[in-house]
Amino acid sequence: MNELRKIDLLVKQTELETGATQIIYQGKALRIQNDAMCSLTYTESQEFEVILDIFPLSLVLARIGETTTILNFDPAYEQEGSMATNYGVIPLKVLTDDLEITSSRLRWSYRLTQDEELIGAYASEWTMEETA
Over the stretch 112-128, which tens digit does the pLDDT of each residue have?
Answer: 999 999 999 999 999 99
Question: pTM here?
Answer: 0.91
- C-alpha dist (Å) from residue 58 to 29, 78, 114, 120: 20, 12, 21, 20
Distance from the Cα of residue 121 to its chain's centroid = 14
Q: How far apart are CA 31 and CA 38, in angstroms?
A: 7
Domains in the chain, number? 1
Residue 125 is classified by DSSP as E
Strand partners, 74: none
pLDDT of residue 57: 94
- CATH number, domain of 81, equals 2.40.128.20
Q: Which domain holds residue 98?
A: 3-130
Q: How far apart are CA 99 and CA 106, in angstroms?
A: 8
Task: Please compute, for residue 88, the number of CA atoms within 13 A of its CA located in the half-sphere on the CB side.
Answer: 3
Q: How far apart are CA 21 and CA 13, in angstroms?
A: 6
Answer whether residue 132 shows pLDDT above 80: no
Q: How does the average pLDDT of the chain come out, rounded?
A: 93
